Amino acid sequence: MIKPYLRRIFASLGYDVHRLGLFDAAIAQRDRLVAEVERLRGIEQTLTGERNRLTEEVEWLRGIEQTLIGERSRLTEEIGDLHRNHQNQFGQLIRLRAGPLAGELFLDPLTASAKGQAEPFDVQSRLIERLRGHGMSVAGDEPVFLHVGFGHSGTTSLQLNFFSRRPDLHYLGTPYGKAGGLLSNLKYLDDYRLDEPKIIRCCRDVAYGSPERQGRPIVISDETICDSSEIYYCPRHVPSDVVAARLKCCFPTAKILFTIRNQAEYVSSMYYNLKRNYAFLAGMSMPSFDEWWAGMHTQLQNQYLQNLDYYRLIDHYGKLFGRENLLILTLEELRKHGARPYLEKLCRFMKLELRVCDVDDFNIPRNERMTVVESRLADLVTGGAAQWAAAAKELLEKESLANLVSKAPRLSVEFTDDQREMIRQSVVPGNQRLAAEFNLPLEELGYLVS
């Protein structure tokens, strides 16, 4: 504001005092505006600070949100695992109400709770009690070993050179004797066709209570529990999970052995074994490998190659019998390290002492892959020329000539790039899980893991 004495001086000099008043008002207005700007700047600083604080709170809340999402996912997985465990305990077994050992054994958990049972529903104990109720002496840790698959992985050597030669084992597996009816019923017949009294009698008279057993561990070895029989007139198998549940009913304390090999070799061996058996057992020819391979992929699931991914069925058996009760042996380890380490691992699993003769017996070749000479003879047998077919069969019946034929070079499938890629896509995820969950050096042994 202009001071009074300055007004008088400006007036004496002829200035318009009224204009000076307007100037004074303008200065005052400017001062008010400056003050308002400063006030607004202060408010702006306060709001900026508040915004930063809120931004930090939003980031903090977002972090909490991510934590809660992760916790929700973890809880969802745990709930899923609990649900699957529940299904493994009940669903897989309850479905056999019409099958062997059915009836009151397969109580619904809600029914059990309604009867006032405070303890969890123990399927294992109930299965054992059911067997005891049919006159079978079954301990809680009854020694039973089931070698259920897979084919072309040294199964015949185990059957003929180890299990059947051990006097301390009650061996019921391939080649079958008295136990053949039991396994045929379990593998081939639908629930509504099962002869339950026969199955119970076989379990009692041939397995648990057989006079020949004399307290020895029960052993069954049969790769067609998991794989289809490789013959022209192949029996119809019931689904693998149904067979597994039936085995659990009959042998609830069993430990499970799986033998596996590189899947490309598994396919090659399967094809030539089919060709051999088609020709020499049924006089039937096999299509070329490319045609057969294409045919095996025309449906969602065909008779063969359904177990290229070993993991899925192994995992199912693990859930049913317990992962701790599974052993997986690879053919490649047998070839790389020899019979002794391979059989030592098996004997530890079965709580047996390895004998020197076990190693010697196991080195006897069994069921080797088709040779080029056998393949040519198979073509003659199935080629329609009766005289050649008769001559070929007569040749194979002579032991000396048959041995000579078997020593010819072995056949192997030459896969195309597309076929190898199909195998890779089918087996890599399962092989990765097998390696991780069962501590198997599959990559080192040449399996496809990437």
**Inside any domain, residue 443:** no
Of 98-107, 363-372, 402-411, 416-425, the poorest mean pLDDT is in 98-107
Q: Are residues 130 and 246 in the same domain?
A: yes
The answer to whether the beta carbons of residues 420 and 428 sit under 8 Å apart is no
Per-residue pLDDT at 124 = 86
Q: Are residues 266 and 342 in the same domain?
A: yes
pLDDT at 102 over 80: no
pLDDT at 68 over 50: yes
Per-residue pLDDT at 280 = 80
Q: Are residues 172 and 321 in the same domain?
A: yes
Per-residue pLDDT at 29 = 79
Number of domains forming the structure of the chain: 2
> Domain boundary residue among 89, 105, 134?
89
Q: Are residues 82 and 130 in the same domain?
A: no
| Cα 292 to the center of its chain, rounded Å | 26
Q: Are residues 68 and 163 in the same domain?
A: no
**Inside any domain, residue 334:** yes
pLDDT tens string 382-430? 765 555 555 566 655 655 555 555 566 677 899 999 999 999 999 999 9
Tell me the average pLDDT across 342-356.
96
Look at strands 144-149 and 255-260 and give their pairing.
parallel
Q: Are residues 146 and 268 in the same domain?
A: yes
- The percent of residues in the chain predicted with pLDDT above 70, rounded, is 74
Q: Are residues 200 and 323 in the same domain?
A: yes
Question: pTM for the whole thing?
Answer: 0.72
Per-residue pLDDT at 109 = 34
Per-residue pLDDT at 5 = 64
The answer to whether the beta carbons of residues 99 and 120 sit under 8 Å apart is no
**Rounded CA gap, 77 and 139, in Å?**
35
Which residue in 172, 345, 137 sits closest to 247, CA to CA? 172
Per-residue pLDDT at 95 = 43
**Inside any domain, residue 287:** yes
Q: Are residues 161 and 208 in the same domain?
A: yes
**Inside any domain, residue 263:** yes
Of 28-42, 99-113, 120-134, 209-223, the poorest mean pLDDT is in 99-113
> Domain boundary residue among 40, 62, 89?
89
The answer to whether the beta carbons of residues 343 and 357 sit under 8 Å apart is no
pLDDT at 38 over 70: yes
pLDDT at 73 over 80: yes
**Rounded CA gap, 442 and 431, in Å?**
7
> Domain boundary residue among 71, 89, 107?
89
- CA angle 319–324–330, rounded 5-degree value: 95
Per-residue pLDDT at 135 = 92
Band the pLDDT of 92: cuts 50, 70, 90.
very low
Band the pLDDT of 78: cuts 50, 70, 90.
confident
Q: Are residues 206 and 305 in the same domain?
A: yes
Instruction: Name the average pLDDT for the chain.
Output: 82
Residue 157 belongs to a domain with what CATH number? 3.40.50.300
**Rounded CA gap, 54 and 50, in Å?**
6
Q: Are residues 188 and 296 in the same domain?
A: yes
Count CA atoms closer than 13 A to 64's CA, side-chain side: 6
**Inside any domain, residue 392:** no
Q: Are residues 297 and 159 in the same domain?
A: yes
**Inside any domain, residue 229:** yes
Q: Are residues 34 and 178 in the same domain?
A: no
pLDDT tens string 122-161? 788 889 998 999 999 999 999 999 999 899 999 989 999 9
**Inside any domain, residue 58:** yes
pLDDT tens string 283-334? 888 999 999 999 999 988 888 999 999 999 999 999 999 999 999 999 999 9
**Inside any domain, residue 419:** yes
Of 39-53, 354-368, 422-436, the poorest mean pLDDT is in 354-368
Band the pLDDT of 276: cuts 50, 70, 90.
confident
Count CA atoms closer than 13 A to 68's CA, side-chain side: 6
Per-residue pLDDT at 370 = 59
**Rounded CA gap, 227 and 36, in Å?**
89
Tell me which residue range forms the domain holding 63.
4-89
pLDDT tens string 170-221? 998 766 667 778 888 899 999 888 888 888 888 999 999 999 999 999 999 9
